[in-house]
Structure 1
């Protein structure tokens, strides 16, 4: 009769996944499990926060990357490669995402929003957010 909270959350996650498949929005929350587009890898080095967005087929000039109040936002649109409606073509499967997208990454407090670099190459968007100088370890000399 009673279920553990782990089972309940697993059921809720499955239901959310099903709803996302039926009603795709192209958006995902900050706590996304990676179901959105583009797929993200986020990590840190001693001097920076590194974000990789796996996003083939984008026009880099149409990407919008912003940082505001500790949130990094990646937005844009991926055009469809399907034939236009009206042609005598049938599509049996369409698993490649097309349309507008928006991904949000919560940055740590030591990230410096004034020092962000981004480049797009071979379908991968790489964003590097430097950490604040004051948060980096430094050696103190003893006299």
Structure 2
């Protein structure tokens, strides 16, 4: 196993362990559920953010750490009898497996799904090495 693969696996296990202890608030998660996809060129992260607009969200990328934060505002109705939908502020952090170009990150919200496309830095992409034959 390559060293990079080993550390990626350790990070994955750490994230899974951390997620076991995320607080639950009155039957609802206090932070959005994420899906993460990657290939050589980009990392795509989708997050469930129903009811939030772009103004309700803040996204930062520093080094290899992606942070998504925001707040579900109280609907201002009468005292609730039952709460299952998330509300309140949240902050979700995800360690990225490679460095990304933070200047070129694209973020969109459509029907309650936040989609982030994080381009991988050119220096992080695998390069094919040309081999010269010597006679």
The answer to whether the superposition gives a TM-score over 0.5 is yes
Match of 1:114 among 103, 114, 119: 103
Counterparts in 2 of 1:1-143, with a 5 A limit? 16=21, 20-21=23-24, 24=25, 36-81=30-75, 83-85=77-79, 91=81, 93-138=82-127
CA contact 1:36–1:103 (8 Å) conserved in 2: no
Higher Rg of the two aligned structures:
1
Quote the offset at 1:61 in angstroms: 1.6
Aligned residues: 112
TM-score (norm 1): 0.65
CA contact 1:67–1:113 (8 Å) conserved in 2: yes
- Following TM superposition, the consecutive aligned residue runs of length 4 or more in structure 1 with deviations greater than 6 angstroms are none
Quote the offset at 1:82 in angstroms: 5.7
For structure 1, the 5+ residue unaligned runs are 1-11, 25-34
Quote the offset at 1:40 in angstroms: 0.8
Q: Cα RMSD between the aligned structures?
A: 2.8
- Partner of residue 3, structure 2: none
For structure 2, the 5+ residue unaligned runs are 1-16
- Partner of residue 6, structure 1: none
CA contact 2:59–2:66 (8 Å) conserved in 1: yes
Find the residue that maps to 1:111 and give its secondary structure: coil
